[in-house]
Every structure is written in C-alpha cells, then in structure tokens.
Amino acid sequence: MNTFYVISNTQKDPELRNAKIIQEFLRKKGKKCHIQTTKSNGVQEHYRYTDPGGIPEDVECVLVLGGDGTLLQAARDLVDRGLPLLGINMGTLGYLAEIDRKNIRPALEKLIREEYSVEHRMMITGTAYHQKRKLLEDIALNDIVITRGGRMRVVDFQVLVDGEFLCGYSADGIIVSTPTGSTGYNLSAGGPIVSPEASLMVLTAVAPHTLNARPIVLPEDVEITIQMGTAHGADADGAVATFDGDTMVRLNAGDKIVITKSQRKAALVKTKQTSFLEILREKMNK
C-alpha cells in the first residue's frame, strides 16, 4: 500500500494529534497520507460523516481512529467505494477496531509490506414504510434496532419471514443483527455470539414480556418484516428504528420495516493472525 486516508474521531484524538503522527510516519516511509479535516453537517442524503467523493482516487486504505462507533460510521459512508478500512482503537473496548495505540506503527509497517488480509463483512438493508410510502432506507453493519419511542411502555411487534408470520412479541424492542453485530447490543440482550465470517441474521427481543422468547437465527437470504402493533397506554410514544446506533426513523402503529441482506459488504483490514476466539476471550475477560 502506498496511499492512505485517515478518518479520526476528534473527541478521542484532540487536534488530530495521532492522525498527524501517522501521517508523518508514513511520509517518512515515502508514502502518501491524507487526513480528513472537514465534517459533514449531517444533511447530505448519501453520507453523514465522511464524504466518499472527497477521498482521492488513488487511496488504497482508510485508517479509522476512534472506536467501533467511528468505524461503523466510516463503513456505512464509504461502502460504495469498496475501500478497505483498518480500525485503530483509541478507547478501551473494541471488537472491530483491532489495533490499539501501542501497535499503530507495527501495523502500518505490515500494510506497507503487504502483510495483511481483508475480511468482507455482511451488511443489512432496512426500509421503513408508513402504509405504502417509504419513510427511510439505510444500511447497517452491526444491527437495526427497533425500540419504544419514549416512556416506559412495551410495544407489540409482529414478525414475518418471507411474508409468513413467525411470531409476535410484547417487548421493549427487537434487534436484527449481523454476525459482526452479534457482539454488540445483541450480546447485551442475551443473543448468541456469531463468528463474523458467517452470513446470517439474528433476531433478538429486548426484555420480552414472556417466559419462552428465544433469539432466532435466520438464513442470509430471507426477508424479515417487523410490523408495529400498538404501544400499551393511550399516551404511548410509538417506536424508533435505529441503524448502527445512528440514523433513525420514527414508527407508529401499522408501520413496518423490511430488512434484507445487502448486496454491499464492508471490507475490514486484518494485520494480526489473531482468531475470532482469541479476540473474544480477550474482550470478554476485560
């Protein structure tokens, strides 16, 4: 690799200090390195944080400094560019950002020497509807989560798979997770941990009001429809669907969201030979 682009979370990298250190290191190695210096105002339709059109055409790798949240944002914004992303964790816990501060230079050396691999991770697309009118369509690498919209009221959900009724829930919410997202909110809600190399979807209810609700693992090629029932209470606030904890759309009784496997994938760079099980042991024991 000869040309790099750095996206840095300025809350974790004030004044782009680490980004500039990386840029200087790569330039001394005879490589080119650009740093993102402008942020989106959030009103663009095709991206929210990083303008893919602002990345030079000769860039071969995007270095993302922050945490898993920053990497998720970059993956969604840049998915159509197909650029491999290397996450550099500036926080304390991360499953996606594999490099920590002390290993930045060794990782960069491996990139320069072409000693890396690229994992292609499944993403999902969700389309929200009010009657037949499309409210929002977006993509997620981790999960699409539907939760109550306000006060402490449970919501009724009807779940259909390929148009066939599967089950109904009265719950605080529902998570539809990718294998990558299985170690996120899905894990906290009692869902299964799935190898990120798999291609499937996991359906997990959040605090279901029943004794027999269990997470459900579904094939990659199904269409999941979640239909909104009524929230309990005359003054209930409906529900909200959230994509990777970022983009959101409000849903009311009768609205639905249709979730399918996306044709697009996120490309994540791996410079370590660490297995998923080793990473899991390390993170779970912290």
The residues annotated as belonging to the active site are 68
Q: How many CB atoms neighbour CB 122 within 10 A?
A: 21
Distance CA 157, CA 232 (A): 12
CA–chain centroid gap for 76, Å, is 7
- 251 DSSP β-pair partners: 239
Per the rule left: phi > 0, alpha: psi between -120 and 50, beta: everything else, 73 is alpha
DSSP code per residue over the chain: --EEEEEE-TTTSGGGHHHHHHHHHHHHTT-EEEE------S--SS-SS--GGGS-TT--EEEEEE-HHHHHHHHHHTTTTT--EEEEE-SS--SS--EEGGGHHHHHHHHHTT--EEEEEEEEEEEEEETTEEEEEEEESSEEEEEESSSS--EEEEEEETTEEEEEEEESEEEEE-TGGGGTHHHHTTPPP--TT--EEEEEEES-SSSS---EEEETT--EEEEEEEESSTT---EEEEETTTEEEEE-TT-EEEEEEEEEEEEEEE-S---HHHHHHHHHT-
